[in-house]
């Protein structure tokens, strides 16, 4: 099978993240990770901050509420509809920009802080993204990332789905690799930054593993697209059963419901200068 080119892959990514209801998924991760990320990267009043792959604005909104001058960028402008409503409800002003993490439409050293929560890890060429994040961050500023780890629940979800789906093109690295410290060190090896890492979890709470599977296959673009394709190919039932098994195995609830910790890695890259 011919390898798809990067523009075609990005168009597919755009369609994936516009599918379902990403806003409903973002609500699940709006408490702990964005607050943790902004605390570690530090956001001073009037600091300029770029939230890359902002989605419906979880991190951007919090940073703006803390007094930063915020730009939210995403490949999927459909998500800005919700982001704009949220900003209006919160009474904050944010600039929303359609764009690609691999080709940020900003001059060098434009921002005091460049952040992303579970966002840039979905762009295909990790080294290109790392160079772009470091480029638009000013010397003395910081890049802050919150990335699902390969060992965590989201990492395993992608690992299960990838065993049923066609292989990604060779130039595209798996998203959960951004949750691996050694990989991130390599990506920033040529940038003049000091790196710090921290692992933490955020809970995924549902009535049951079955409830989780049905919520994700309906609302979460990557799982919804996998369901559509694998249903046509006859392998969705097997893939879904693995997802349900994974969630039951990771369940820490003691009251008969579902509570699965989702592990993430906080990366802070302070730029020297």
Listed residue (194, 181, 152, 201) closest to 41, CA to CA = 194
Q: Which stretch binds ligand SAM (CB under 6 A): 1-9, 72-80, 166-174, 224-232?
A: 72-80
Q: Which stretch binds ligand SAM (CB under 6 A): 1-9, 113-121, 132-140, 163-171?
A: 113-121
Residues 36-55, interacting with ligand SAM (CB under 6 A)? 53-55
Which of 47, 49, 71, 76 is in the footprint of ligand SAM by CB under 6 A? 76
Q: Which residue number is nearest to ligand SAM in terms of Cβ?
A: 55
Residue listed under structure tokens 């296959």: 217
Smallest distance, ligand SAM to C-beta of residue 35, A: 12
Residues contacting ligand SAM: total by CB under 6 A: 22
Smallest distance, ligand SAM to C-beta of residue 116, A: 6
Q: Which stretch binds ligand SAM (CB under 6 A): 84-92, 117-125, 166-174, 241-249?
A: 117-125
**H or E stretch at 231:** helix 221-233
Edge-to-edge strand order for the sheet containing 94-98?
Answer: 94-98, 69-74, 48-52, 111-117, 137-148, 258-271, 193-206
Smallest distance, ligand SAM to C-beta of residue 7, A: 11
Please say whether the beta carbons of 48 and 68 come within 8 A: yes
Which of 63, 92, 101, 184 is in the footprint of ligand SAM by CB under 6 A? 101
Listed residue (118, 221, 101, 112) closest to 161, CA to CA = 221
Listed residue (73, 75, 23) closest to 220, CA to CA = 23
| Burial class of residue 87 in the structure, from the number of CB atoms within 10 Å of its CB (0-12 exposed, 13-18 middle, 19+ buried) | buried
Residue 118 vs 158, nearer CB to ligand SAM: 118
SS3 100: strand
User: Site residues (CB under 6 A) for ligand SAM?
Assistant: 10, 13, 17, 26, 29, 53-55, 58-59, 74-76, 79, 100-102, 117-119, 122-123
């Amino acid at each position: 099978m011919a390898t798809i080119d990067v523009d075609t892959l990005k168009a597919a990514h755009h369609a994936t993240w516009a599918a379902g209801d990403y806003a409903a998924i973002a609500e699940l991760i709006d408490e702990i990770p964005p607050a943790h990320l902004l605390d570690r990267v530090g956001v001073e009043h009037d600091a300029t901050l770029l939230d890359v792959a902002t989605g419906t604005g979880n991190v951007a909104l919090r940073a703006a509420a803390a007094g930063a001058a915020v730009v939210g960028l995403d490949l999927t402008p459909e998500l800005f509809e919700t982001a704009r409503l949220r900003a209006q409800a919160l009474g904050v002003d944010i600039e929303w920009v359609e764009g690609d993490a691999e080709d940020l439409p900003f001059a060098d050293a434009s921002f005091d802080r460049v952040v992303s929560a579970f966002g840039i890890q979905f762009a295909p060429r990790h080294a290109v993204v790392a160079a772009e994040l470091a480029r638009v961050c000013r010397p003395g500023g910081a890049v802050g990332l919150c990335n699902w780890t390969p060992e965590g629940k989201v990492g395993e979800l992608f690992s299960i789905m990838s065993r049923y789906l066609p292989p990604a093109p060779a130039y595209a690295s798996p998203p959960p690799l951004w949750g691996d410290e050694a990989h991130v060190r390599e990506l920033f090896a040529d940038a003049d930054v000091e790196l710090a890492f921290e692992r933490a979890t955020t809970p995924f709470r549902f009535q049951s593993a079955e409830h989780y599977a049905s919520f994700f296959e309906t609302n979460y673009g990557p799982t919804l697209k996998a369901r559509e394709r694998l249903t046509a190919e006859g392998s969705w039932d097997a893939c879904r059963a693995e997802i349900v098994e994974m969630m039951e195995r990771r369940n820490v609830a003691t009251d008969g419901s579902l509570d699965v910790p989702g592990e993430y890695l906080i990366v802070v890259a302070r730029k020297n200068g």
